[in-house]
Homo-oligomer: A and B are copies of this chain.
Amino acid sequence: MALNGNAVIGQSGGPTAVINASLAGVIEEARKHAEIQDIYGAVHGVEGLLAEHMADLRAEDDAALALLPNTPSAALGSCRKRLTEDDYERLIAVLKAHNIRYWFYIGGNDSADTTHHVGRLSAEAGWEMRVIGIPKTIDNDLAHTDHCPGYGSVARFNALATRDAGRDTAALYTVDTVKIIETMGRNAGWITAATALAREEPDDPPHLIYLPERVFDQEQFLADIKREVDKGRGCVVSVCEGLRDASGEPLVSFKHAVGTDSFGHKQLGGVGDYLVNLIAEELGIKARFDKAGTIQRCLGVAQSEVDVAEAGLVGAAAVHQACEGITDKMITLERVSRDPYRCETGLASLEEVANAERPVPEEFISPEGNDVTSAFVEYARPLIGAPLPPYARLKLRRVRKQL
């Protein structure tokens, strides 16, 4: 039997280039279901809900909604907030007061945890409500899904940036010999691994890739750099901001961390800088680093159209499933065909998603721990969408010497 009432949709955690495509997917699908009356946006996620700050999404213009899938970052505002017991109590009161019967929350495992608890507590309070999590994370570290919306676009950015910054190094390696590309990724190396998608020919950059799934071994790193530099064409290295040493400590953390976020995540940074100095000191080789930071997760012109489409798909599926009576689940992506690539949506337990992390598996990391495997490339290639724009490769046929 149809459950009549209002729906609320929120965005949580780090923004992505396509999280608004999921929002658009939810709105578009919700408008098709008569049992969903008002469609509310939680402004800055649960933070806004606690303050009863919601926006009426039926009041938005069609023109704005049409632009939404290609508009990066979180249009509703986002947050990083772990709710206390009191918060949850307040939240349930807000949801009841606004007759919310459908809860959609776009985020990673912390958001899945929040959504699971909201569902459990509303049930305990006798308030019938369907809660569905919508996957989103550039980190691509959610379990029970082939990949996460947001990843394809950050992967595309890093493939483009590594290819182009790699060409930069190829041109000027006699001056700036090593280039470090520092990517995001707190505990998982999926984003760093994606720089491998920059390659078109065997010796293309990046020449070395270091993921946090492996202990960072400074001696091995320096030996790797030296070997690559000795090939006489510069060396492009992608590293994850979350690299750790043998003791499990991050290589670098900010000198003055202004606390941590309320989930206890430390803000990381400075790996690129650290390695540039290390290379200078130990090898006497000039290096520089690029750290695109939040630009990598939000640059609109690097959106993967596959990612945009899938982000919309999981949003729409969330509404569809909720209207079918499903609750306490996260929408997943299941790869039903590898060639041609095709994904469909599925369902996973929110609780299972909340309590798991998916690092880059062994079979995607080279035995030496300084590269990814072709299996990874096969996995990730379809996610970045269209092939990278074609570039000229000059033959540079050498003119015979006269002197």
Contacts and interface: CB of A to CB of B under 8 A. Distances in A.
A217 to B, nearest CB: 14
Interface in A154-209: 160-161, 164-165, 167-172, 174-175, 179
Interface in A131-166: 160-161, 164-165
Contact of A54 (B174, B256, B398): B398
Contacts of A20: 392
Interface residues of A, number: 107
B15 A171 contact: yes
Q: How many monomers of this protein are in the complex? A: 2
Contacts of A59: 395, 397
B391 A43 contact: no
A314 interface: no
A191 B98 CA distance: 49
Contact of A298 (B74, B167, B252, B286): B167
Given A164-B298, A165-B294, A175 B80 contact: yes
Contacts of A169: 294
A340 B132 CA distance: 52
Interface stretch (A119-127, A259-267, A369-377): A259-267
B261 A267 contact: no
Contacts of A348: none
Given A161-B299, A269-B289, 7 more contacts: A14-B172, A44-B174, A60-B394, A71-B392, A73-B171, A255-B266, A269-B272
